[in-house]
Structure 1
Amino acid sequence: MIVRIAQYRLTTRLMFGIASTAAVLLAQQALALIAHGRLTFLLLSAALPFVTVLFGAWSGALLLAAGLIYGALWMQPLGSLEVLGENDRVMLLAVFVVGALLILAGKQLAKVAQRAGKAEAANRDAAQRLLELERDARHRFDVALNSAGVPFFIVTPVLRDGHITELRWDYVNDAAARLFNPAAGIVVGSSTLYVRPVGWDADVLLSRLAPLAEHDGRDAFDVRVQAEDGEHWFHVVAASLEGSVVAWFGDVTPRVRAEQALSEADRRKDEFLATLAHELRNPLAPIRQVAEILEQPRLTDDGRKWCVAVLRRQSAAMALLLDDLLDVSRITRGALALRKEVVSLREVVDEAVEIARPILEAKAHELLVKPLARPLHVEADRLRLAQVLGNLLTNAAKYTPPGGHIEVATTAEDAEIVLSVSDNGIGIEPDKLSAIFSMFSQVNPDHHREGGLGIGLALSKSLIEMHGGRLTASSGGKDRGSCFSVHLPVDIRVVAAPAPARDAPAIVSALVKRCILVVDDNVDAADALTALLELEGHEVRTVYSGEEAIDVLNHYVPEVVLLDLGLPGMSGIDVARRIRTMPATKDVTMIAITGWGQPHDRARTAEAGFDFHFTKPVDVVQLNEAIDSAGTAA
């Protein structure tokens, strides 16, 4: 205790010294009254080391002198400093010797106390510095982990009977803490069996992290969590740390969903390619068979007419497939523009019915059209609206058993105009309703035999959205029919202008016979076009390369040149430029016939000097009109 007191500040030690001196003096006075001062020196002996340690050797010597004087005054003769008794003088001498030794001992004890105090102070300072370092390191640790923004935690195993039965949260950073339910209360110190991130499975945590607590190692795994807003995925990277487990984990839901979407898109692409091959083979098969029939010598005129009708139907079917694909491509690239005009919705419905009439009649469906009581006109793209409604009618006819009932209704509400097509066909299962508007999606995969590329509904949805509307679907389930509705914004409704008076149709005169050069590296295509033009009465020369075309033009000057662009060697563009530089042919009518029909392709042909640009297969009526126009340019 003396060593401890010696380390106190001066004011504290002074208080202890005054208190102890007062206690000694009181004790001396009491003993002096009882034993006439002979026992007071015992108190002096006890107090000397204490006073010496507190205030130094001089204070001890002063106390010893005061004690000796005080003791002499209480000895015989009482009240005199002169001590006459031999025994009393021996006692005072003994007290002096013992007191001096005690003062020396107190002085040494003070040195020991000073050294001990310095050592203890050094230890206390070291401990304080270690504590501050620990706090600083913990603060740095927290700041680093919290600023990273990536959830991080440390768990420690809880053993029962030598086995890990649960894990305890020892640390979670802010990013990890946000994943816990606020109602969970305190996380650190809680068991993973009862407190864990929302939706996480305690068994998964225990089974994947417990082995790392028993043996050093690393592990990485994904955790699937079912949350209120759907399925989420977390990627966890964990490692052993002196009997505990540290782990980082991050939300990889966007990556997993993207991978799933890519996988689904890849699957749909494969289905689409298979369907496309199927749909293209369908018209190619009768075309090939008709070609064989046309070669038969006993073919009658009626048979030939039938063959021509089949060829027209099947080539038209292929053209529709290609048109759908091109429309989807244009919409994806933002290259499709609407040609808006004032159009009657009744006329749109009538055109859509005409589009779907062949399949409606072929399957003997009953069609009921419910128009509005009053005419309704909108500002929209007439062709595209009819295309969408015709597609919905065609789908309804395809997926309704023969003899079914299909209904078209038009309603005008305050907020929107609705065109709906309903049927009593095979219906759509609820879990497939959300996917039917996706690209390459079939209404029912079990009905591929009905045909189609699975792009019709996606194309229709995009066309309606370009009008500012939306396309919806509903169904009561399998075999309970379906209803598709086109919702158009009411602000596209307009008042129709009076229809202008129409002139009487002009009488089409006979085609003027022209000198024509056909250039195409596809021999069958070139020969077929040549045969068609010759049947029209034109004089036709045919070559199969650009170089041959230039050679022929040196001695033959046609009025019209039908030129394919994708020629081997010298391209059609190069041939056209050469034709425009030759004096004899610089004014001929040049018509591009090609499979390339994008706007930039038409710009290239215009720049090269072409007068017309037709995509294959060429419409014969339009081609004849272009050829006939060559006479007006001459």
Structure 2
Amino acid sequence: MIVRIAQYPLKKRLLYGIASTAGVLLAQQVLASIAHGRLTFLLISASLPLITVLFGAWSGALLLTTGVAYGALWLQPIGSFAVDEQPDRIVLLAFTVVGGLLIAAGQQLAKVARRAGRAEAATRDAADRLLQVERDARHRFDVALDSAGVPFFIVTPVVRERHIAELRWDFLNEAAMQLFNPAAGVVIGSSTAYVRPTGWDTDLLLDRLAPLAERDGRDAFDVRVQGDDGEQWFHVVAASLEGSVVAWFGNITPRVRAEQALSEADRRKDEFLATLAHELRNPLAPIRQVAEILEQPGLTDQRTKWCITVLRRQSAAMALLLDDLLDVSRITRGALTLRKETVALREVLDDAVEIARPLLEAKAHEIVVELPPRPLHIQADRLRVAQVLGNLLTNAAKYTPPGGYIELTATADDAEIVLSVADNGIGIESDKLSAIFLMFSQVNPDHHREGGLGIGLALSKSLMELHGGRLTASSAGKDRGSCFSIHLPAQCRVVPAPVPTRDAPAIAASVGKRRILVVDDNVDAADALTALLELEGHEVRTVYSGEEAIGILTHFSPEVILLDLGLPGMSGIDVAQCIRATPATKDVTMIAITGWGQPQDRERTAKAGFDFHFTKPVDVAQLSQAIESAVAAT
């Protein structure tokens, strides 16, 4: 107790010293009153060690002196410092000697108290430092595990009847917590039987981890999880830890999927090589046979012509196979370059139909081509777009029973241009739609075999992506037809540049009579153009401002509008946008007539919805071709 008090601050020690001294003096005063002062002063010696320990030897000496004086006053004669009786003198001397010894003992005790206090303080500081070190180590451990990004957990077994009945979550880092459903609530302390990562199996955790809690060791295994994001795979590495189990587990789904993809690619490669051998043998067989026929004597001219036809047809088939292979190789190496040009969409569709026409006619298919109501020009590689459309038409012909129906349509809006090939053929099952654009993929390699290497759709998809577009497929199911669509961005749409001026402009006699509206604030220019168009047989109306143009559309429905851009008040761009925004006139063919002919001017007219852009003075032959194109598109 004294050692503990000695470590208190000075104020606290002073309070304890005053209190203890006051208590001793009070007790002494009581005894002195009862015993008439005889020897009661000796009671003061009881506080000497305490006072010495608390305040040092000088305080003990002061208290001892006070005690001697106090005793002298209460010994005979009372009230005087003189001590007459020999026994009293002996008692007083004994008190002094004993008091001195008590003061010396108090000094030693003070030293012991200080050493004990320093030892206790050092022990307490060491304990505090150890606790802080432990906290820092735990914090670093938590930070390291959380920042690793790899799920980590510790589980402790719950034993019932000498058997591990379940496991309890004792620790999880942040990466592991992300795998739990937020609705799971508190995870730490919960049983794995009730709270576990989404999609994980309870029995698997218990069966694989419980043995590690009973004996030292480690284990590694893969876990397949069917979660909200589909099938996922985790690789778990677990080890024993003093009756618990620690485990790391990493998401190996990308690796597993890559391995599956490699396996699938290897399988498709083998199928491709077998198909390639088959497809090359098909034309080689008749070529070899024709070569033998040509060696026969007495060959008629008719038979020779037939042999030549067969050789040309079969060599063309081989050339197509090789072209597809070379195109795929170029795209893979990034060596394929598009040759973009401004081309009428109608011409691209015509080229595609010509590519597929032999197969379409051979199987007696009905093909319907639907074009937009307005002429449409795109900036694209004409050969490649026609090649893709031709491939889609050929596939539709292959997988549609004889006498089927195939529709080729083209639509355009502000977002994109869509070219679609739809048929009423064998269709595509929903689980195969995602795989048909893979290299060497066959829609159905066992039925409806029509030849091909399985690279046509993959090649077509890559070609469209080079154009900044995409290729999509849809089907209602088996035997319910399919639809393949090319989606080109709206930026592909352009206003065509004028064709070279003819040496001798002539009025096209083949152009039928059309309703035309001429809008120009230059009266002479407008009237002259009107007269020229009327000579060609067209029905023409003429206005000289944008407001008049909008007004006349309420009672006159033109098929073609020739519009000047630099109109006073409402500009030609404003008029064009208003016309396109009106349902009744949104499909009318608009031709810009302007003095502005820079590329940025053509971009402005294309965005405003113009179909053609001509600079003044307008070439009559070019204008007639534009009107003829517009007529053909309606």
SS at match of 1:445: coil
Partner of 2:449, secondary structure, is helix
Provide TM-score, normalisation by structure 2: 0.70
- Secondary structure (helix, strand or coil) at the match of 1:247 reads strand
Secondary structure in structure 2 of the residue aligned to 1:357: helix
The structural deviation recorded for 1:212 is 2.4
Task: Look up the match of 1:367.
Answer: 367
| Aligned equivalent of 2:286 | 286
Partner residue, 2:313? 313
Map of 1:15 onto structure 2: 15
Partner AA of 1:463 in structure 2:
L
State the secondary structure of the residue aligned to 1:79.
coil
Partner of residue 442, structure 1: 442
TM-score (norm 1): 0.70
Q: C-alpha distance in 2, partners of 1:176/1:138?
A: 18
* Partner SS for 1:78: coil
* Counterpart amino acid of residue 276 in structure 1: L
Q: Is the aligned partner of 1:407 residue 2:413? A: no
- In the other structure, the counterpart of 2:384 is 384
Distance in 2 between residues matched to 1:405 and 1:91, nearest whole Å: 138
Helix, strand or coil: the match of 1:302? Answer: helix
- Aligned residue identity for 1:487: H
Does the aligned pair in 1 maintain the 2:39–2:71 contact within 8 Å? no
Q: Percent identity?
A: 80
Letter in 2 for 1:396: A
State the alpha-carbon separation in 1 of the partners of residues 135 and 414 from structure 2.
Answer: 68
Deviations 1:32-52 (A, max 9, x none): 334433473464243233223
Matches within 5 A, 1:567-582: none
Match of 1:484 in 2: 484
User: Aligned in 2, Cα 1:5/1:500: closer, same or farther, shift over 3 Å?
Assistant: closer
Task: Give the secondary-structure state (helix, strand or coil) at the position aligned to 2:437.
Answer: coil
What residue is the counterpart of 1:209 in the other structure? 209
Q: Distance in 2 between matches of 1:40 and 1:201?
A: 86
Shift of 1:496: 5.3
TM-superposed CA distance for 1:482, in Å, is 0.5
| One-letter amino acid of the structure 1 residue matched with residue 270 of structure 2 | D
Equivalent pairs, count: 503
Does residue 395 of the first structure (1) align with residue 409 of the second (2)? no
Mapping 1:329-348, distance limit 5 Å: 329-348=329-348
Aligned AA (1:398):
K
Report the counterpart of residue 28 of structure 1 in structure 2.
28
1:551 counterpart residue number:
none
Which position in structure 1 is the counterpart of 2:124? 124
Mapped to 2, the partners of 1:314 and 1:221 lie a distance apart of 56
Match of 1:53 in 2: 53
1:234 corresponds to which residue? 234
Q: Could you say which residue in structure 2 is the equivalent of 1:603?
A: none
Deviation at 1:278, TM superposition (A): 1.5
CA contact (8 A) 2:42 2:67 kept: no
- Judging changes above 3 Å, is the alpha-carbon distance between structure 1 residues 442 and 30 closer, same or farther for their aligned structure 2 residues? same
Change (3 A) 1:162 1:302: same
Deviations 1:188-237 (A, max 9, x none): 55544455555544444433333222222222233344454444433333
Residue range with higher mean Cα deviation, 139-148 or 473-482: 139-148
2:412 & 2:139 partners in 1: Cα distance? Answer: 67
Give the 5 Å matches for 1:197-596.
Answer: 197=197, 199-297=199-297, 299-447=299-447, 449-495=449-495
**Structure 1: 5+ residue runs without aligned partners?**
504-634
**Counterpart AA for 1:479:** D
Rounded to whole Å, the distance in 1 between the matches of 2:75 and 2:262 is: 114
1:240 maps to a residue whose letter is S
- Asked if 2 retains the 8 angstrom alpha-carbon contact of 1:31 and 1:39, the reply is no
Shift in alpha-carbon separation, 1:19–1:395, aligned structure 2, 3 A: same
| Matched letter for residue 258 of structure 1 | A
Cα 1:42–1:278, aligned 2, differ >3 Å: closer, same or farther? farther
Q: How far apart in 1 are the matches of 2:260 and 2:52?
A: 87
CA distance in 1 between counterparts of 2:52 and 2:501 reads 133
Cα distance change on mapping 1:186 and 1:363 into 2, 3 Å: same
Q: What one-letter code is carried by the residue in structure 2 that aligns with 1:156?
A: T
Kept after mapping to 2: 8 A contact 1:392/1:421: yes
Query: Once the 2 structures are TM-superposed, how far is the Cα of residue 331 of structure 1 from its aligned partner?
Result: 2.0
Other-structure match for 1:158: 158
Q: CA shift at 1:112, angstroms?
A: 4.0
Cα deviations across residues 472-498 of structure 1 (Å, max 9, x unaligned)?
111111111111112233443345577
CA distance in 2, matches of 1:354, 1:502: 29
Once residues 385 and 310 of structure 1 are traced to their aligned partners in structure 2, the CA distance between those partners, rounded to angstroms, is 29
User: What is the CA–CA distance in structure 2 between the aligned matches of 1:502 and 1:443, rounded to whole Å?
Assistant: 51
Q: Is the 8 A contact 2:24 2:43 kept in 1?
A: yes
Deviating more after overlay: 353-362 vs 477-486: 353-362
Q: Distance in 1 between matches of 2:97 and 2:498?
A: 141
**Matched-pair contact (CA < 8 Å) for 2:41–2:70:** no
Answer with 290-299 or 316-325: which moved more.
290-299
1:446 alignment partner, SS class: coil
Q: Counterparts in 2 of 1:57-206, with a 5 A limit?
A: 57-83=57-83, 92=92, 95=95, 99=99, 102-103=102-103, 105-142=105-142, 144-146=144-146, 148-177=148-177, 179=179, 188-193=188-193, 196-197=196-197, 199-206=199-206
SS where residue 314 of structure 1 aligns? helix
Q: Which has the higher contact order (CA 8 A, sep 6+)?
A: 2
**Match for 2:409: what amino acid?**
A
* CA pair 221-42 structure 1, distance change in 2 beyond 3 A: farther
In structure 1, how many angstroms separate the alpha carbons of the residues matched to 2:44 and 2:222?
82
* Offset, 1:324: 1.0
Report the Cα distance in structure 2 between the residues aligned to 1:443 and 1:178, rounded to whole angstroms. 40
Is the CA contact 1:412–1:418 (under 8 Å) kept in the aligned structure 2? yes
Q: Is this contact kept in 2: 1:52–1:110, CA < 8 A? A: yes
Give 5+ residue unaligned stretches, structure 2.
504-634
Distance in 1, Cα, partners of 2:55 & 2:38: 27
Deviation at 1:167, TM superposition (A): 3.6
Partner of 1:331, secondary structure, is: helix
CA, structure 1 residues 118+470, in 2 after alignment: closer, same or farther (shift >3 Å)?
closer
Tell whether the 8 Å contact from 2:399 to 2:448 is kept in structure 1 after alignment. no
Structure 2: distance between partners of 1:147 and 1:489:
43
Deviation at 1:371, TM superposition (A): 3.3
Deviation, structure 1 residue 11: 4.1
Pair 1:43–1:190, CA change in 2 (3 A): farther
Instruction: Report if aligned partners of 2:471, 2:485 keep a CA contact under 8 Å in 1.
Output: yes
Q: Is the alpha carbon distance of 1:258 and 1:422 closer, same or farther for their aligned partners in structure 2, counting shifts above 3 Å?
A: same
Answer yes or no: is the 8 Å Cα contact 1:280–1:318 preserved in 2: yes
Judging changes above 3 Å, is the alpha-carbon distance between structure 1 residues 411 and 60 closer, same or farther for their aligned structure 2 residues?
closer
Aligned twin of 1:625: none
Query: What is the CA–CA distance in structure 2 between the aligned matches of 1:249 and 1:102, rounded to whole Å?
Result: 72
- Distance in 1 (CA, whole Å) between partners of 2:278 and 2:389 is 25
Change (3 A) 1:239 1:320: same
Residue of structure 2 equivalent to 1:529: none
8 Å contact kept, 2:437–2:461: yes
**1:213, 1:244 within 8 Å by CA — same for their partners in 2?**
yes
Question: In structure 2, do the counterparts of structure 1 residues 122 and 388 end up closer, same or farther at CA, with 3 Å as the change threshold?
Answer: closer
Give the Cα separation in 1 of the matches to 2:70 and 2:204. Answer: 87
8 Å CA contact retained: 1:6, 1:54? yes
Once the two structures are superposed, residues 110-164 of structure 1 have per-residue CA deviations (whole angstroms, 9 ceiling, x without a partner) of 4443443343334334323433443444455445545555444444333333333
Whole-angstrom CA distance in 1 between matches of 2:273 and 2:216: 51
